[in-house]
Structure formats: C-alpha cells, structure tokens
Amino acid sequence: MHQSALEYGKLFFRTYFKPTSAATVVDIGAQNVNGSLQSVCLPAMRYVGVDFVPGKGVDIVLDENDPYKLPFADASLDVVVCSSVFEHSEFFWLLFLEILRILKPSGLFYLNAPSNGFIHRYPVDAWRFYPDAGLALVKWARHSGYAPTLLESFIGGKSAADQTPGHFWNDFVAVFVKDEQCAALYPPRMMDAITDYHEGYNGLTGARANTHELSPDLMALLEAQQAWAAAEQRATALDEELRLARAEIERLSGRA
C-alpha cells in the first residue's frame, strides 16, 4: 500500500467517526504489503482483515472458488474499507454489491483505488478509476435493488512520499452509505480537511469542486512541457548572452 492510501484511510476514520467509536471494521484486501489500514483505525474499533490469500493482517481468507462471496451476514457490519484492491478485482462491481449486502443501513463503505499509476499485477491489474466512478457504482447498485448514496468522492494529489520514479499515484477516494436515508448522519467531509485534490463531489449538496478537463497525468505532462519550453527559452537567451560576451571579448582583444 502506498503512503497516500494510508493517509486517506486515516483521514476517513477521523472524519466520519468519533475518537471513541467501537465500530466493527472489515478490511477487504487486508494483507499488510507495505502498510495496512489496520494501523490507522481508531483505537476502540474492532478490525477484521479479509483477503484472498493468507498473510500478515489477514483474519479470514476468502474461498478462491467464489471470491465475490463475503462470509458475513446481511446488514451486519458498521464499516467496510477497501484500499488498493478494486483495480485488481476483475469484477469489482460484483464485490461492490456484496459489500452493500453486509453493511447495516447506516453502514459506510470507504473505497480507495488508483486513478493512474504504473502497472502492478496482483495477480492482475485491470482498472483505473476516474471522477464519475463513484456515481456510476451508485447507479449500478440502484439497478441491482440497493439504495446507496455517494457521500463524497475526489481524486487526491500526489503524496510527496510517493514521488519516486514510476510510483506516481493519484488516489480515487469515495465514501458511500448503504441507505440514502442515513446520509444526514454524516455531515463532515474529508475534502473539508484537504486542499490538494481535484474533481471533488459532495453528495450532500451535489456540488463539484476543483474540476478540470485534464487527468492528473495529462496535467503533469502539460506542466512538464511548459517547464521544458521555459528552459529552452532560457537556454536560447543564455546562448545569446554568451555570443555577445564572446564578441565583446574579441573586440576588446583586437583593440589591445
């Protein structure tokens, strides 16, 4: 798990829950690979780690023959979190419905998935998530008989800790509540605590913030092109200054 995913996970828990919350949290894709959301849960929370394979931080291993069946009763859980997993799930829309099934009506689902980044198969790397992905998942769930709502979504900025060659991540972050009638229970927003994000969506008001037609990668490419053009202009100006200086040296040498 990259650093920004941990940072947003921590912000989720501290935005939507009181410090003394004893909610049960199920983490899908819980294996500790360079970090785990277990480390940023609130102290009183009960954490259950679920994954497709055994490993550090995994309490329950899913049936490899039916990985889209979660071993929890209907409407039994307070929170489900899933970070850096949906890009590896070949049928993530099925997993989304299964998550809604096991959540209580007031239950929250926190999703973090890459909006860009390098190819990283585990064992496959199938998807990236753009700004409207959260609203599309809500439509899919409604089509399938559920009534969730998207509380907020955004694409975060790159974490300074992640900016090593080939590891540039912009996280798509979304928070859902299973039953839209429970949305008023959660007025705070993660976006209220950060400034480095774009394509923000507030489900309470329907407002969008920091919208941009260019994706993060294209914005970075445009910035690099502009920086390159500025460097070329500066190099041209320096070449001209050097030419004039040499001409002046030659003139002065000739006078001597």
Same domain, 217 and 206: no
Q: Are residues 92 and 25 in the same domain?
A: yes
CA 41 from centroid of its chain's CA atoms: 17
CA triple 56-57-63, angle to 5 deg: 90
Q: What is the pTM of this model?
A: 0.87
Q: Domain check: are 193 and 248 in the same one?
A: no
| pLDDT range class, residue 155, cuts 50, 70, 90 | very high
1-17 b/e (C-beta count within 10 Å ≥ 16 → b): bbbbbbbbbebbbebbb
Sort strands 103-114 and 77-83 into parallel, antiparallel or unpaired: parallel
Domain that holds residue 179: 3-212
What's the rounded mean pLDDT across residues 229-256? 88
Domain co-membership, 177 together with 104: yes
The reply to whether 173 and 218 lie within a common domain is no
Answer yes or no: do 32 and 131 share one domain.
yes
**Residue 21, pLDDT score:** 96
174 and 242 inside one domain: no
DSSP β-bridge partners for residue 160: none
Total domains in the fold of the chain: 2
Runs of H (alpha helix) within the chain: 3-16, 92-102, 133-143, 216-255
Write the pLDDT tens digit of every residue in 104-145: 999 999 999 999 887 888 889 899 999 999 999 999 999 999
- Residue among 172, 32, 71, 34 at smallest CA distance from 114: 172
Q: Are 110 and 132 in the same domain?
A: yes
Same domain, 161 and 246: no
Provide the 3-class DSSP secondary structure of residue 107. strand
| 161 and 90 within one domain | yes
The pLDDT assigned to 3 comes to: 86
